[in-house]
Structure 1
């Protein structure tokens, strides 16, 4: 469990009665879990922490009408500004007009833009506190036109139609590392259909690219937004694939794969976090079929060579453009 975050320190010093607190898009924080009644989050790892504590946990895509009926609501402003707006407008759509909401976040994550966001929507804004390089604002919901579907963005790349959402990795563009990875896959993958796991599928570009080439694809991501984006991308390209919300391998059964492909994340909001990538690499050998291979792309400075050596005994650098590096490692060598 992580130490108390600055935003939660700011909340705690309010000395409010948070016994009926519903938190939206929060970090994992022991104090917050203990104080709150429940959580609404797109992140499966966050939902799991609240569930493990016996608390209510909802995905934004499976939110019952009575999810928030009383008590306080606190929205943690994300670093993706448009995602913050999506959450705010979503709360205005599911909560009765006049419901009190607090919005908290770190200055480095853009929370100082919240007063302007509220003013543009005709919502009140009361600045409650400012400390720990964080700010806390109070507002009330108003009746807004439901524009949540408009947040989904479609764009063309590499002969594919991609569907993305604010907060999804690479939103609205193709990441340079992903392009380098796909160039490597063109050379590395057999032409015959393979069983491939796309770990951390994002907007589904890798999955759609693979499915177009006849491979059997399973795509997973910890984010509900990414899972929905990948489903929409596969549908837009008229290709099939299994898409699951999973914290690394958590939702997968005992099936093995010929290839595991990934552009793994190393950020969790503004913090560097290697945890998911470490689990991806360390557990890959048991998830690969005989002679199966793991192929990943990463920023060149990240400490993946040691992890790959520990897990597989050896690895190859398949491509390197100085900023990004593509690694390959086989279960029984090449």
Structure 2
């Protein structure tokens, strides 16, 4: 088996097929899984791939932390502040002078790594360069400072906690603001009672906190451990309660149904566009909505979600459109009406 992704191809070229690696924040590549002893990732979906091969896979927030065997290889993320956090995390978790290699694509910012390592007081040796990727070697240093990457800010009368790697880090994006306004409008005609709400892809928890502050019973999920921790901290900072879980779309929610599912779903994985999670969000939503429940999501206007909503629910409506973003609403009852109408036509 050969590596598929450029950064992994560089590792295969340098280490060979006898590689025994311990990847940090790795991408999905069968060769890498095969050559790994264990891995660390914030992504619960990726951890599942390693666990499926009976390999240790942990979140950076798991405690106690247990060092694993193999050459440590950090895959440099597109957000360089997140890359710095991973370097500092490795220095806090591993013994001083532990060898660490850093790999990444040139268009992903790996060329900035030597300067970043220098700023952290860490050595830097270039090991290899190919496939428009570079591989550097460094060693951990003693870092006594606590994790200072968390950012606290105020928005919409709420205190929000954010972390590098979380969507919209440090701000409330335009799409989320449009979604909140549309949700408020959509809920106004309903009786003033607590709804069972799912915040799918919770990010820093702005939607969860906004809904919990209005008395709703909130469950929040995200594939990223950074987002899950941020959402938990946001709820705590506002003295609000809610269930927050790591989940690959609905994977942690078997059998649960909600009156309202809200989402600002991502469509990027690093630099690649991916509609897979968003498609699952829409297609599986009827299985997680109550009879009178509703799915409300915001998306960039150019994304092909209307077709998915039409196929899944039979119909949908646009609650808001500012030309850059659109807020869509769909209901299972629309799907059942469409099925009844189709049945009558067949008769």
TM-score (norm 1): 0.96
Larger CA Rg, structure 1 vs 2:
2
The 5-angstrom pairing of residues 305-324 of structure 1 reads 305-324=306-325
Q: Which runs of 5+ in 2 are unaligned?
A: 338-347
Match of 1:121 in 2: 120
Runs of 4+ in structure 1 over 6 Å off: none
Match of 2:100 in 1: 101
Q: Are the equivalent residues in 2 in contact too, given 1:18–1:36 (CA < 8 A)?
A: no
The 5-angstrom pairing of residues 13-32 of structure 1 reads 13-16=13-16, 19-32=19-32
Match of 2:171 in 1: 173
| Cα distance between partner residues in 2 of 1:97 and 1:255 | 46
TM-score (norm 2): 0.93
Q: Are the equivalent residues in 2 in contact too, given 1:223–1:245 (CA < 8 A)?
A: yes
| Cα distance between partner residues in 1 of 2:104 and 2:22 | 16
Distance of aligned partners of 1:310 and 1:161 in 2 relative to their CA distance in 1, 3 Å threshold: same
Match of 1:208 in 2: 209
Instruction: Confirm or deny that 1:88 pairs with 2:79.
Output: no
Q: Which runs of 5+ in 1 are unaligned?
A: none
Cα offset, 1:18, TM superposition: 5.2
Match of 1:54 in 2: 54
Match of 1:196 in 2: 197
Match of 2:231 in 1: 230
Match of 2:150 in 1: 152
Match of 1:280 in 2: 281
Match of 1:78 in 2: 77
The 5-angstrom pairing of residues 230-249 of structure 1 reads 230-249=231-250
| Cα distance between partner residues in 2 of 1:213 and 1:260 | 16
| Cα distance between partner residues in 1 of 2:18 and 2:60 | 22
Q: What secondary structure, in the 3-state scheme, does the structure 2 residue paired with 1:332 have?
A: helix
Distance of aligned partners of 1:65 and 1:257 in 2 relative to their CA distance in 1, 3 Å threshold: closer
User: Number of matched residues?
Assistant: 331
Cα offset, 1:225, TM superposition: 0.7
Distance of aligned partners of 1:18 and 1:161 in 2 relative to their CA distance in 1, 3 Å threshold: farther
Q: What secondary structure, in the 3-state scheme, does the structure 2 residue paired with 1:261 have?
A: strand
| Cα distance between partner residues in 1 of 2:271 and 2:235 | 30
Cα offset, 1:63, TM superposition: 4.7
